[in-house]
Structures are given as C-alpha cells and as structure tokens.
Amino acid sequence: MQNLLEVKHLNANYGAVKALKEVSFHVKAGEIVSMIGPNGAGKSTALKAVLGLMDDIEGSIIFLGENIINLSTDERVKKGMASVPEGRRVFPNMTVLENLEMGAFIRKDKNEIANDIEKIFAVFPILKARIKQKAGTLSTGEQQMLAIARALMSRPKLLLADEPSLGLSPVLVSLIVDKLKEINSMGTTILLVEQNVRMALSISDRVYLFKMGKIELEGTGKELMDREDIKKYFLEM
C-alpha cells in the first residue's frame, strides 16, 4: 500500500507554546490509523495541522504525493480530505437532509449526490428515518452518525475524525466502531484522534502514541494492546 498521507518533521506552536515537536507519521491507503495520548499531548493539533487549521507550523504534509502545507482547508477538502470535528458540530437548525447536502458543497453532480445520500442511508438507516428532522433535535449518537455521514458526502479519500466516541455510551461507541469499519471496507482511509484508547486499539491497523508534543510509540493496535505499560497507563487492566 502506498502512503496516502505523509507528515514529516512537523512543528506547531500556539504562541510561545510548542504543541508539536518534529512529529512524523504516515497513513497508507486503506488503513485505519489512530492517534492516542493524554490530554494536551498534541494529537488534536496534529489533526488540525493536516486539515490546514493551524497557522504557525513548519514541516511538510504530503497528501497524494503533493506537499499541501500552504494550501487552505477548502483546497485540502477539494483534494480529498473531510473532517468529523470534535463535538459533532452538525447544523442544528437544518434538517438531516440539509446537513448531508451541505457536506457535498464542493460538488456539482446533483444526480450522483442523490445516489450518495441513498448509500449513506444504507449505512445509517436511522438517518433516513430522521430525514426531515432538525439535526439539533437528534440524540447524541444520531448527531455523531450525521457528522460522519455529512463528511462522507464529499467523497473523501481520507476521513479525519476527532474524538468520534466522545460523550457516547458504550453501546453507541460499539455502533460507531462498526460503522467506521464498514466505511473503511468501502474504500475510505481513516485517521482518528481518540481518547477512548481501548476503542482506538481495537479498530486501528496502526496507532501513534503522542506524549508532550512528540510521538512516543508506534505499533499495531494489537502490539500496543499487549504492552503492559499501555495497559497500566491507559486501560487500567
């Protein structure tokens, strides 16, 4: 598999605070890759940098063979990235259908958009049942599904999800895991930031452990699950 995304020697600052220090990682086409670590470790900053949401950065972000570090977020979306933001951030006063249509804002192919909405409903049938309902009235789990579905409407090659399990019950976390696996099996590469370490290790082909703005460890989900220090620190096993 080729690298879809390759981040090299990334440095990022919030004013005088160095949030990322010489961070390098990659995501191969077809993978699910997670970034884990304690709060403030730099993982969400790394995701924001990939999306073009950080101003003070250095290094290279190579996507589909092109260094995109100077491109705007809109330009990155047009090249094949899409984001599921932390906290879902659906448009609360728009219906489910309108939220999905907003996800396809860069597209002009109306017939194909309609086809993709039907494909989305096949993955998330609850959204079809809620098609005319305002997003703000959905349950937390339904809003998370809508946020993922909305991101998929741009037909991304790389889906970047920030804390998709945040605030969800264990049953809903399990459902979101299943949906992300299904989306991945349909050809979408996924990069996650996830506080739920057990979930991240269970779903991911590879995992990067961030600590104090650096990558401390890299391995498969199983490799990190089997490490006693990871169990003790994150999983309390």
26: its two tokens = 């990659």
What confidence score (pLDDT) does residue 33 get?
Answer: 97
What confidence score (pLDDT) does residue 167 get?
Answer: 84
- Quote the pTM value: 0.91
Give the model confidence (pLDDT) of 145-174 as tens digits: 999 999 999 999 999 999 998 888 889 899
User: DSSP labels for 77-117?
Assistant: HHHTEEEE-TT----TTSBHHHHHHHHTTT---HHHHHHHH
DSSP 29: T
> Token match 């999905």: residue?
100
Give the model confidence (pLDDT) of 40-62 as tens digits: 889 999 999 999 999 889 999 99
Question: Can you list the domains of the chain with their CATH numbers?
Answer: 1-80+158-237 (3.40.50.300), 90-155 (no CATH)
Whether the pLDDT of residue 235 is over 80: the answer is no
What confidence score (pLDDT) does residue 50 get?
Answer: 96
SS3 sequence, 150-192?
Answer: HHHCCCCCEEEEECCCCCCCHHHHHHHHHHHHHHHHCCCEEEE
Look at residue 42 and give its three-state secondary structure: coil
- Residue 81 pLDDT class (50, 70, 90 cuts): very high
What confidence score (pLDDT) does residue 88 get?
Answer: 75
Look at residue 12 and give its three-state secondary structure: strand
Rounded-to-10 torsion of CA 193, 196, 197, 200 = -60
Distance of CA 67 to the CA centre of its chain: 20
152: its two tokens = 């998929």
How many Cβ atoms are within 10 Å of 7's Cβ, its own excluded? Answer: 22
Give the C-alpha separation, 26 to 2, whole Å: 10
Give the C-alpha separation, 164 to 81, whole Å: 16
Do residues 61 and 104 lie in contact, with contact meaning Cβ atoms separated by under 8 Å? no
Percent of the chain residues topping a pLDDT of 70 = 97
Give the model confidence (pLDDT) of 8-35 as tens digits: 999 999 888 899 999 999 999 999 999 9
What confidence score (pLDDT) does residue 161 get?
Answer: 94
- Residue 126 pLDDT class (50, 70, 90 cuts): very high
What confidence score (pLDDT) does residue 237 get?
Answer: 38
Whether the pLDDT of residue 117 is over 60: the answer is yes
The whole-chain average pLDDT of the chain stands at 91
Mean pLDDT of 91-98: 93
